[in-house]
Amino acid sequence: MITWALLAVLLVSALLYSRWRHSYWSSRGVPTAPGSIPFLGHTLKLLNRKKYRWLIIDEMYRNHGGSLFCGLYDIHNPNLMVGDPDLVKAVLIKDFDHFADRRSFKATNPKDKVFNEMLTSATGDHWKGIRSVLSTSFTSGRMKGMFPLVEAKAEGLVDYFHRQLEKDPVIRMKESFGMYTMEVISSCAFGLETNSFEEDGIFPQKAMEMFKISPFRMAKFLLFLTVPKLAKLLNVQISHENTEFFTDVVIETMKQRKTGGKRGDFLDIMLETREDQNEKTDKKKPKYPLSDETVIASSVLFIIAGYDTTANTLGNATFLLAKHTEEQERLREELKKIIEEHGTLTYQGIMEAKYLDGCISEALRIHPPAHFTERCCTKNYQLPGTDVVIAKGDVVSIPVWSLHHDQRYWPEPEKFDPTRFFPENKDRIVSGTYLPFGLGPRNCIGKGSLALHCVGLHKKKNGKPLH
């Protein structure tokens, strides 16, 4: 009898506690998106495997205030969806000092050391230090230097297509681009020949596995979201097991580099940067020495962050071009002309290909591989023009896909129209509504290297990136 009463009291208290946590947004006058349930918040709704996540988010964006802002709960943690372009720019660019971090798990498992050191999850000054060192790897000069490495891999891809065509007239474009991307990244990141075009290329396989989220991994993430302290106490490992595979490869390559020659890849650049730092140590110790861990973590991260995103973009761009034969023909003509002018396809030539830029940009608009991005609030912030205060620790998420498909900003949003991105049409693009690479100081560091794969994506105009 007493135990039942006790249980009932506990349950009711727990429910009340949950309800109190879930009143966070309403008590601040922020509309809450529907679908929040006790204890779990919106997490279950967003994990629905039967519906694309960006469509679930889009519903909140369109019908429940998200196109300005609306409140969500990850378990009990407040998450503000901000969809108004001016507010998006305020959070990502103007008031970046309030939103310098992403959500970080700070896992304690020793196997997560590499994960914690990655630029994507690093926080505060630590992030700033790594970011400024790594930025030197992605200048246009560096990119140009890597062009021959990429060219060789593009030839490998064409060879692969020819070989496949002899066996089967149907080619799986996404997988093929996956192999190509893996070849390019592993070659550019640390001079590794991964033989991805062979039947049993282990690298794409290992990388692909990392994007499949098993129920077990999901449970671990949820544990970190619900009771981070317990997750740390239990030493739960958050990074995928395959991280180790890539870590070992990088360590092995670094060893070889100490004896072998240079190739001009990212690993060389990072090791050079470190030598520079070491030379300076007598006079002034560098503030953020590039440790072995950072070099390893960055190399592994480049594979993780660049592989799926790039393959997706190339896959979707070709798919759209296959469906739009007129546009495809126009692109073909443009490239033919450029090759005629330059004799062959050069980095410069690709940078001049305006229509190509439009096609890739449009593919990224319709199918942004990162359909949302987020920041963690690092100091209290009053949302401009409102009374709403976002507290330190709250998450802000930006509905990238919805902004790209909002007809107020993009007339006929489902239409594939590469000319939207022509220089003469550029002033029609509302700023803050196109962000396939995010925005501001914490945007995608690798977007320039995509210009290599995806060619011409970030052409410079008067020294400024096109978008």
Ligand X SMILES: *[C@@H]1O[C@H](CO)[C@@H](O)[C@H](O)[C@H]1NC(C)=O
Structure tokens at 54: 């960006």
The token pair at 148 is 């021959």
Interface mask toward ligand X for 214-253; x: CB under 6 A: ----------------------------------------
- By CB under 6 A, is residue 53 in contact with ligand X? no
349 binds, among ligand HEM, ligand X, none (CB under 5 to 8 A by kind): none
Out of 43, 187, 316, 402, the only residue in the binding site for ligand X (CB under 6 A) is 316
Q: In this structure, which amino acid lies at residue 102?
A: R
DSSP 400-466: HHHHHT-TTTSSSTTS--GGGGSGGGGGGSPTTS--TT--GGGS-TTHHHHIIIIISTT-EETTEE-
- What is the closest distance, in whole angstroms, from the C-beta atom of residue 312 to ligand X in the complex? 5
SS percent in the chain: helix, strand, coil, step 5? 60, 5, 35
Cα distances from 299 to residues 97, 117, 181, 246, 265, in angstroms, run 27, 11, 15, 9, 11
> Distance between CA atoms of 70 and 390, rounded to whole angstroms?
12
Residue 315 binding target from ligand HEM, ligand X, none, CB below 5 to 8 Å by type:
ligand X
Among 228, 369, 440, 441, binds ligand X (CB under 6 A): 369
Integer Cα distance of 339 and 336 in angstroms: 5
Instruction: Assess 413 for contact with ligand X (CB under 6 A).
Output: no
Q: Which is nearer to ligand X, 165 or 322 (CB)?
A: 322
Q: How far apart are CA 121 and CA 132, in angstroms?
A: 15
Give the CA count within 13 Å in the CB-facing half-sphere of 403.
30
310 interacts with ligand X by CB under 6 A: no
Contact residues: ligand HEM, CB under 6 A = 119-120, 131, 301-302, 305-306, 309-310, 313, 369-370, 373, 436-439, 442-446, 449-450
Among 32, 176, 181, 312, indicate the residue that binds ligand X (CB under 6 A): 312
The interface with ligand X within residues 149-188 (CB under 6 A) comprises 173-174
Nearest residue to ligand HEM on Cβ basis? 438
| Contact (CB, 8 A) for 152 and 265 | no
Cβ 215 to ligand HEM shortest distance, Å: 26
For ligand X, the closer CB: 31 or 369: 369
Q: Which of 286/369 has CB closer to ligand X?
A: 369
**Residue 338 or residue 370: which is nearer to ligand HEM going by CB?**
370
Residues forming the site for ligand X (CB under 6 A): 173-174, 312, 315-316, 319, 367, 369
